[in-house]
Chains A and B, each alone.
Chain A
Amino acid sequence: MSTETTAPAPSTGKRADSHSRRWTGLGWGFVAKLLIMMIVNAFGVSAIMSAWNAQAWVILGASIVLLVVADWVYFSRRMLPLKYIYPGLVFLLVFQVFTMIYTAYVATTNYGAGHNVSKSQAIDAALIQAEREVEGSPSYPLAVVRDGDTIGFAISEDGVVEVGTAEEPLAEVDGAIDDSGRPTEVDGWEIVKVNELLSDQALAQEVTDLRVPVSDEADDGSLRTREGSTAKVYRSSLVWDEDADTLTDVDSGVVYTPNDRGTFVGDDGSTLPAGWYVNVGFENFTKAVTDPEYSKPLLKVTAWTFAFAILTVASSFLLGLFFALVFNDDRIRGKKTLRTLFILPYAFPAFLTALLWRGMLNPEFGIINKWFFFGADINWLGDPWLARFSILFVNLWLSYPYWFLVCTGALQSLPSETTEAAKIDGAGRWRQFRSITFPLLMVSTAPLAIASFAFNFNNFTIIYMLTNGGPRFEDTSVPLGSTDILISAIYQISGVAGGRADYGLAAALSIVVFVVVGLVSALAFRQTKKLEEF
């Protein structure tokens, strides 16, 4: 049993002689571990309890499994490697794998504008929207009454108290009313006080749902209350038939049946506004490539995404490397100060820098045109190609200091013997750089370049802050533009910013982005392995 605190860092290679085997008693490390595990268990049990209270069975199950496994891993002797991996693994499962699975699920549905709720909620919505106040209905002061479990409404008309329930239409009874006309005493019924109504959720719900028919004639409508103290006459034009799974419009006779797209369609071809989400298989994925509205802009967006990520990494790497080489030269004075200055763009928040550049690139008021182009009217962010150039330029400004830092570090750690040996062999500066410095540098920087590619592939901030994807494509109704990269396109399509939401398509595209970044990274890492063998 063991102790991270007392033992030196373990090596999985020497398993037979692992420190967990050498455990002889309750050391301080064990006490520390015990305390930590107590806290972990306390959190775990409280999570399980809240899941139980919220009746979230999946979360409940997952929490139990994760907690049990945690205890098993940390109190078993055989699980040494897992002791180190497990916390990371849990976070990976919760924050990455779960999110991925859920995104994949959404990608197979038509979840989005018009298909935003479950079917029963869509039916609720249809019924809500169809229930209208009967024109000219007075507002009756209302007393909610009960007789055992039966809830009823009592109102007064011309001084006469009337009571009704869901089954029994309004009928006269004996009782008394106050000045406003609200019944204060109803024969055979107990009056429910408003405060009682407000403090009892179930009762309040029952009262909200209660409809008391005004007469035997269903067409006359029924009394309903919204806030518990007044009632008006409402009439619903839709009737829900649970067995037939249909909604019927009692005025026009149109019968609405659900279709497999998650919409109620009437026999006259009309549809009800609120739909629900249904599984549509791989339609979202095919829509991205076959729908003429989406396919062309998305193709352009994809091409630009690759170009943007690759060009950004290449340009900032080269510029950073150039400065690193220059400032690595012993002949330069004030290196420290200069290095600090060169790192500054990296020190400011990227979104702020992007916003600043947006202002500076304004064709009429921005200082770029004013100072550097003699007041010329160059529309940096308004022309598709200039906007792309501006994005690349600003991103270069933002990211070269990173490469400058990395390359400086890498250069300083290069062995000087090899360079010296090359010098003795008569190699020139360029030859030294090309054959020794650069390849050695690549070993340590290539993996970072891949990470940087993956980051820029999803670099939402700069696109959103500098151009917000614009200028817009002119030949499509999809709200995408020339500088949109996939992730900003997904943001637009998801409708989070406003406009029509299409979560299904946005989720499908997210999966595509994930696969692309994953594939590119995997391939690139393979290549870097080869560099190491060099």
Chain B
Amino acid sequence: MRKTIGKAAVLVTSVALLAACSTSGDEEGTDESMSPEPTTSASETSDAIDATGQTLTIWTDANRKPAIEAAAATFEAETGATVELVEKNFEDIRADFLAQVPTGEGPDITIGAHDWLGALVTDGVVNTVDLGANASSFSQVAVDAMTYDGQVYGMPYSTEAVALIQNTDLVGTEAPATWDDMIAAGEESGAKYPFCINVNGETGDGYTMYPFQTSFGAPVFVQEGGSYTNEVGMGGDAGEAFATWLSENGEKGAGHLSTTIDYAINNELFNSGDCAYTVAGPWALGDFADVNFTVNAVPSAGGETAAPFVGVQGFYVSSQSANALLANQFLTNYIATPEAMQALYDADPRLPAFEGVDTASAPFPDAIAGFQASAEQGVPMPSIPEMGSVWDFWNAAEAKIIKGADPVDTWNKMITDLTAALAG
């Protein structure tokens, strides 16, 4: 008997507590009559949320959040929709987007890099977009990068590429024409190292080294009419010439390239004036506070144009978005406008992918011009899904050659392994 009283008491009180929470002021009653109450009040609440308008969920990283917030505020004011900005680490977005979109928990729009595109398309999580009325204002290399199999899947807003950064106190502002000129000038300046480059320690870094590779005419994949084929293009004589060059300048050769240097060490060396020249991207500029520098295009080492990889960042729309209309409305009318693009640039200065953005507001306006010059002679980084396996082989082979392994054998073995892996 006591047991029953206890149970009833608990049910009544807990339900009462619950009712108090949901501010529906119920009178005391038996548990049977009470139990349906909370359920109804809950469904009322959810209906109420629906009626206040739609919610557009956007994933962004911390840097770009303020810029998107500005666009979102205008959007909210004009359409009555709510924009929910979810801040995430940029590095996590790719994997999370791939995993969350199929479950329906993903965002409507996400910030992303163009080299994810291959994976996003084969995993079926991304929708095509239309660039809208201002389509012609986007830079062609950026739109090409966001294009996969002839369809545009992302709205680009910034580009980035590595360039040659030189210490003006040591070697002046003049851009060296070739690798040899640069090394000569660097040695003459009396700097401890004429040239430093991030090799990412033992891992190797084909990305930063790529302009030198393309100057030998050895692109990673054969390009056909703007888009990449999956045929490896860095084999043959051109590739071997580049490998030999790596070896000659590596640890057992001239020593300009070394696996002891990773990103942090490279920036430290340049910032302390130990290096006359380095190759780095705009993201490294913050680390160069103690030196005067200028930015130029990367000089050629093998005779042809030194074309760096151009990375593009932009907005993707989820293929499972329940608010596709709203998402496209936001992108075409509130992001693809000169004002919004300017706001994005002001909040997080990266080379704009949109014509007419005033780059004077950046902390290093001159440097931005140098990076833009470098990006103009660049090629988009391939976004085909095969790129994932390429990095592993490619970086490792470069690191080995720099450490002193036989260049031609190592390079050719890498090409063989890579071709086999791509075929399998």
Task: State the A residues within 8 Å of B (CB).
Answer: 1, 34, 37-39, 41-42, 45-46, 49-50, 52-53, 71, 75-77, 113-114, 116-118, 121-122, 124-126, 128-129, 131-133, 139, 195, 197-199, 201, 204-205, 207-208, 225-230, 232, 273-275, 293, 359, 362-365, 381-382, 468, 470-472, 474, 477, 479, 495-501
Contacts and interface: CB of A to CB of B under 8 A. Distances in A.
4 closest Cβ contacts across the A-B interface? A125-B124, A274-B124, A364-B260, A116-B123
Contacts of A128: 127-128, 319
Given A114-B122, A232-B130, A201 B50 contact: yes
B226 interface: no
Nearest to B392: A479
B48 interface: no
Contacts of A496: 95
B419 to A, nearest CB: 11
A121 B392 contact: no
B290 to A, nearest CB: 18
B389 A116 contact: no
Interface in B110-143: 119, 121-125, 127-130, 132-133
A45 B421 CA distance: 53
Contacts of A471: 202
B40 to A, nearest CB: 10
B149 interface: yes
Given A128-B128, A131-B128, A204 B323 contact: yes
Contacts of B21: 42
B329 interface: yes
B6 A75 contact: yes
Interface string B89-126: 00000110011011000000000000000010111110
A132 B151 contact: yes
B125 A1 contact: no
A125 B319 contact: yes
Interface residues of B, number: 78
Given A113-B122, A205-B325, A75 B3 contact: yes
Interface of B: 2-3, 6-7, 9-11, 13-15, 17-18, 21, 38-39, 42-43, 46, 50, 53-54, 79-81, 94-95, 98-99, 101-102, 119, 121-125, 127-130, 132-133, 149-151, 201-203, 258-261, 264-265, 319-320, 322-326, 328-329, 331-333, 385, 388-389, 391-393, 396, 403, 417, 420-421, 424
Contacts of A228: 325, 328-329
A368 B204 CA distance: 22
Most chain A Cβ neighbours within 10 Å, of B94, B133, B420? B94
B325 A198 contact: yes
24 contacts: A1-B6, A41-B18, A71-B10, A116-B123, A125-B124, A125-B319, A128-B128, A197-B325, A198-B53, A198-B329, A204-B54, A204-B323, A205-B322, A205-B324, A226-B332, A227-B331, A227-B333, A229-B333, A273-B124, A362-B260, A363-B260, A474-B396, A477-B420, A495-B95
Contacts of A53: 42-43, 46
A495 B122 CA distance: 15
Most chain A Cβ neighbours within 10 Å, of B261, B329, B391? B329
B95 A500 contact: no
Given A274-B122, A470-B203, A34 B10 contact: yes
Contacts of B10: 34, 37-38, 41, 71, 75
Contacts of B388: 495, 498-500
B157 to A, nearest CB: 17
A204 B325 contact: yes
Nearest to B121: A273
Nearest to B325: A204
B18 A45 contact: yes
Most chain B Cβ neighbours within 10 Å, of A114, A468, A477? A477
Nearest to B269: A365
A205 B326 CA distance: 10
A249 B26 CA distance: 61
B413 to A, nearest CB: 9
Given A53-B46, A232-B130, A273-B122, A124 B389 contact: no
Nearest to A39: B17
Contact of B392 (A76, A114, A226, A472): A472
B260 A34 contact: no
B319 A227 contact: no
Contacts of B80: 195, 198-199
A76 B149 CA distance: 66
A34 B18 contact: no
Contact of B7 (A42, A71, A365): A71
A132 B391 contact: no
A230 B13 CA distance: 57
A82 B249 CA distance: 71
Contacts of B389: 477, 499-500
A227 B392 contact: no
A247 B42 CA distance: 42
Most chain B Cβ neighbours within 10 Å, of A42, A132, A364? A42
A1 B2 contact: yes
Nearest to B259: A382
Given A42-B18, A49-B38, 7 more contacts: A114-B385, A116-B98, A116-B123, A126-B124, A198-B53, A228-B329, A495-B388
A375 to B, nearest CB: 13
B26 to A, nearest CB: 14
Contacts of A495: 95, 388
A105 to B, nearest CB: 14
B105 to A, nearest CB: 10
Contacts of B79: 195, 198-199
B42 A121 contact: no
A117 B125 contact: yes
A52 B6 contact: no
Nearest to B326: A198
A45 B38 contact: yes
